Amino acid sequence: MILFNPTPLIPKPLRSRFLVLRGLLLAAFFGLGGLFAYSVIFPSQYFLFSFENPDTAKNTFEEPVGMDGKSLKKGRIDRTSLRTYAGTVGTFSSVRVSLVLEDDSPLPEEAPEVSLRRSYRAFFFPDGEPITTLPKERVFTIGSTAYLFSDETLAPFISSRAALSYFPEEKILPANEDFLKIFPPEEDYAGFRPGSLLSDAEGVYAIGADDKAHPIGSVAVFEALGFDWDNVIRSDEEELGLHKRGKIFLFDAIQPDGTLFLDTDTGRYYLIENGTRRLVESKEYLASLLGVTTPIEVSGEALSRTVSCPLAKRTLAFRPTYECDIPIDRLRDYPGGSFELTLDTRGTIHAAELSAIFEIKPSRDNLSMFIGQIRDRFDAVYGK
């Protein structure tokens, strides 16, 4: 009994103090446990961009730009709209946005307004020229070797898997030895198509337009970016070694060139190229793309659906601070974990800091969603 009730071991004058301290300790334990459980069940994500320290690694918002695409990282916003992006994971109920101004900043005559859209990061790109014909690249086989023909140069592929990342087997054209006399092969090997997903024993990589293999940070990042596990190509050391290592892909990463999107609202397909979203009108090229990759499903309607709120000045603050809460339930059903945040100042200001907290409000629906996610993960690992 002494192990479970130490009170008899404590001198009588100190027993009441011991009971009080024990009660406080238990209260602290359960209180901290409750806070931890709350943060796990109803998590929040914090994003920040400091215009005073624009190059710090602590900035989690993408570098803000104006409507003309020019950087606004110094925080001087002159009658233009600021645009930035946040890569999230999870389902959120609301966003609290806060804008802090420098002491010398003019105060806005009208309330600044913040608006949000939700999709995948690359799908926010502007429209490019529609694709109406097959690309210039071709894949030929001469003997047992596959070659990439592009801009009148011929390069042997590092492997057949690399060749099949460009075109399905039925689209690869046979050629004779005379072709090598007209276009002598390059010494360097051709690698995988931009947008390809490769894997080795260490992880999964996305091939970017820079021809580099970008490690994907985690399974959660892979799925948040919309990638399909069926698209992952198992590669060997020689194949993967042909591509230099690039910057790691995290939740805020942009889907690379070569990524194919399917707008489920219209049935149209878009290919990401050079910072644009190009409508694929060529049926022959679309058939080739669908033979080598699975498109990421998006909603074109999401690009025209925004939620917004006017920023109100906080009464008690060391510097001029404006904030508001935006309910984002209307955006919940749209695919994609990237949010585009637009700040319309309607005047000239000098910003010091922009931050946002994505929150999940406690509710029965959100609790049920959390339980469902745990059940789905359990089923994925152990089977139903």
Name the token pair of 60.
């989690």
Q: What is the dihedral of CA 356, 214, 288, 151, to 10 degrees?
A: 120
Residue 363: band (very low, low, confident or very high) from pLDDT cuts 50, 70, 90: low
Confirm if 262 and 269 have CB atoms less than 8 A apart.
Answer: yes
Name the token pair of 361.
């409000």
Residue 33, pLDDT above cutoff 70: no
Question: What distance in Å separates the CA atoms of residue 108 and residue 58, rounded to the nearest whole number?
Answer: 28
Mean pLDDT for the chain? 88
In DSSP terms, which residues pair with 358 in a beta bridge?
45, 95
Tell me the pLDDT tens digit for each residue of 112-149.
999 999 999 999 999 999 999 999 899 999 989 999 99
Question: What distance in Å separates the CA atoms of residue 178 and residue 189, rounded to the nearest whole number?
Answer: 20
Residue 43, pLDDT above cutoff 70: no
Residue 28 has φ and ψ, to the nearest 5°, of -65, -40
Question: What distance in Å separates the CA atoms of residue 363 and residue 368, rounded to the nearest whole number?
Answer: 9
* Strand pairing category for 338-344 and 173-174: unpaired
Q: What is the pLDDT of residue 40?
A: 52
Q: What is the pLDDT of residue 23?
A: 72
Looking at the chain, the whole-number percentage of residues with pLDDT higher than 90 is: 70
Residue 104, pLDDT above cutoff 80: yes
Residue 2, pLDDT above cutoff 50: no
Tell me the pLDDT tens digit for each residue of 281-325.
999 999 999 999 999 999 999 999 999 999 999 888 889 999 999
pTM of the full structure:
0.83
SS3 call for 263: strand
Residue with tokens 């069926």: 230
Residue 9: band (very low, low, confident or very high) from pLDDT cuts 50, 70, 90: low
Residue 336, pLDDT above cutoff 50: yes
Question: What distance in Å separates the CA atoms of residue 233 and residue 213, rounded to the nearest whole number?
Answer: 13
Residue 344 has φ and ψ, to the nearest 5°, of -105, 110
Residue 29: band (very low, low, confident or very high) from pLDDT cuts 50, 70, 90: confident
When computed from its CA atoms, the radius of gyration of the chain, rounded to whole angstroms, is: 27
How would DSSP label each residue in 244-312? PB-PPB-TTPPPPTT-EEEETTTTEEEEEETTEEEEB--HHHHHHHHHH-PPEEE-GGGGG--EEEE-E
Confirm if 137 and 171 have CB atoms less than 8 A apart.
Answer: no
Q: What is the pLDDT of residue 5?
A: 62
Tell me the one-letter amino acid at 320.
P
Confirm if 260 and 296 have CB atoms less than 8 A apart.
Answer: yes
